[in-house]
Chain A
Amino acid sequence: MEALVAIAVGALTGCGIYLMLRGRTFPVILGLSLLSYAVNLFLVSSGRLTVGAWSIITYGQERYPDPLPQALVLTAIVIGFAMTAFVLVLALRANFDLGTDHVDGVKGSDR
């Protein structure tokens, strides 16, 4: 199970960083989103993976997963959602103001 989560986090991070290094703003934003998915998955797994138990105190349940990372991930998801919305609108505005969606903000920056 840990291997699966680790591979997923790694794949998402790798794809996210690759996209963030692209030359156009929209792939950069997609890359940031993928990176934030990877980060949120990583945060959940920092509380160790527990199968078949939930975080609510229940009669007869001995093992409980750690509830704190779940709270941390909720915070991170909400913050990430607001930031993604903001950066999308900013990229649209930049495309309108600068006439190009190249990350350097200068037309014809590609060689």
Chain B
Amino acid sequence: MNHLMIAPVLLPCLTAVLLLFLAKQDKGIQRAVSVLSTFAMVAISLALVAQAGQGGYGVYALGDWPIPFGIILVLDRLSAGMVLLTSVVAVGSLLYAIQGWDLKGTNYHALFQFQIMGLNGAFLTGDIFNLFVFFEVLLIASYGLLLHGGGADRVRAGLQYVVVNLTGSAFFLIALGIIYGTLGTLNMADMAAKASTINPELVPVLQAGAFLLLVVFSIKAAVLPLYFWLPGAYRAASAPVAALFAIMTKVGVYSILRVFTLVFGPEGGAVANIALPILIPAGLLTLGMAALGALAARDLRTLLAYLVIVSVGTLLVALGISGQEALAAGLYYMAHSTVVVAGLFLLAELIKDQRGAREDTLLPAPAVRQPAILGSLFFLGAMGVAGLPPLSGFVGKALVLRSAVDSPHMGWIFGVILGGSLLSLVALSRAGSVLFWKTEGSGDARNPAATATGGALLPVILFVGFTAILVLAAGPIYAYLDAMAGQLADPTGYISGVLGGGN
């Protein structure tokens, strides 16, 4: 059996345990261990992407229990791609964190590695209760990371974030109970095989379970009306944590994608395509409201948090259009938006530190100390997020819109996506001009030590540069994503591949 598939879960877990033992040691050793492990994680995820690129489904049966009964990990192109995306964001976030943030509380690196473990496990698992367990792992690590650094604002935002997510977990369990009670299995491939042949009396119950599951994933993905926890939480988080959180909403989108194309997908019988009518309206409403929220934001980090929600809305629209072309477009857009927003969150803190008492509120303040580098990075990042050519935001949005041309809701989709882009563009331009050009007062109020070092700028440059790579290598990347979407559009292939033991 190919044991590389369990490495994305085992490696961060063992690293975190090692870091807990090293908690009293010199910080340099902890940082070295954490960085080495994260770079190894990137290498492993590249190997997994190469393995999954050969087609077919890799199946790893934990404990070697027979397949529908035990817990399995499934490696297809989507899981491998999401693990790679997680590793890329984690590397950047960690490189930023070792510039000083990791010293502001205890056990930052151990919590970080546990978070990576939870994310990788959630992307790789093929069992829905195991998905719940990995959700909990990543959530509890995120609670610790969100509160890292302390302070009244963080504790306030943290308490609200924790209570919302605990409620979501309770609902997740109710949904799992309903689904297990009706389908009799927790293995996702087996659920898909059984969903079309259940007793007709149980169909309404299963539908209720499916929609409750959609609600739970929507809480995680920050879909209207369940996104109100996000701006406060992301604004209060420290910069490397906020950058890592850029991928947390994508876990919710991934779960919707996986469960509602596979189990409740086109082959589902009485529950086929059950979420499809809701996804486009939900996505458009989320996008619209979040664009308005971005316009109303009073500081840069709240603005960026609302732009995260805008990207989630666009992704849901792409999922709702369904079909291979729309899914490929959505996956390209997911990769782009995650990385560019992570970079912008890191940049927001660099800007905030250099503006003195005004921090990152969108009011005139003394000029930043390094306007050239910070300004140009902000300009590139904002171009990426708003969807201006030639960066990857434009390519992603154009792909999504192109896939919407044949949809019956084409008018609404074009209108709201383009309108949302316009509003985000206005919000970002206003933010940029206030932060860099509308300066007032002298520089005496600034923190004299706040100069962005090369080490802090490197992850920002890497993330913003990633958008350039996404454009320059768009051909091969889109080909891989198209094959990924092809696998997703073929649930029968998944079911027979996984239940047959994989290859």
List chain A positions with a Cβ less than 8 A from chain B.
Answer: 20, 25, 28, 32, 35-36, 39-40, 42-43, 45-48, 68-69, 72, 75-76, 79, 82-83, 86-87, 90-91, 93-94, 97-98, 103, 105
Q: Is B387 in the interface zone, CB < 8 Å from A?
A: no
Question: B149 to chain A: closest CB distance in Å?
Answer: 12
A42 touches B163 (CB 8 A): no
Residues in B neighbouring A105, C-beta threshold 8 A: 152, 155-156, 159-160
Which stretch from B170-178, B325-333, B471-479 is at the chain A interface? B170-178
Known A20-B167, A68-B180, A69-B180; contact A43-B173, beta-carbon cutoff 8 A: yes
B166 touches A83 (CB 8 A): yes
A98 touches B170 (CB 8 A): no
Question: A100 to chain B: closest CB distance in Å?
Answer: 10
Which 3 pairs from chain A and chain B are nearest by CB? A105-B156, A46-B181, A46-B177
Number of chain B residues close to chain A: CB under 8 A: 28
Known A72-B176, A79-B136, A90-B147; contact A35-B159, beta-carbon cutoff 8 A: no
Question: B314 to chain A: closest CB distance in Å?
Answer: 31
Residues in A neighbouring B176, C-beta threshold 8 A: 43, 72
List chain B positions with a Cβ less than 8 A from chain A.
Answer: 129, 133, 136, 140, 143, 147, 150-152, 155-156, 158-160, 162-163, 166-167, 169-170, 173-174, 176-178, 180-181, 186
A90 touches B159 (CB 8 A): yes
Question: A6 to chain B: closest CB distance in Å?
Answer: 13
Residues in B neighbouring A72, C-beta threshold 8 A: 129, 176-177, 180
State which of B140, B155, B174, B177 has its C-beta within 8 Å of the C-beta of A94: B155
State which of A48, A68, A79 has its C-beta within 8 Å of the C-beta of B133: A79
Residues in B neighbouring A36, C-beta threshold 8 A: 170
Residues in A neighbouring B177, C-beta threshold 8 A: 39, 42-43, 45-46, 69, 72
Residues in A neighbouring B170, C-beta threshold 8 A: 32, 35-36, 39
Q: Can you list 13 A-B contacts (CB < 8 A)? A: A20-B163, A28-B163, A32-B163, A39-B173, A43-B177, A45-B177, A47-B181, A72-B177, A72-B180, A94-B155, A94-B159, A103-B159, A105-B156
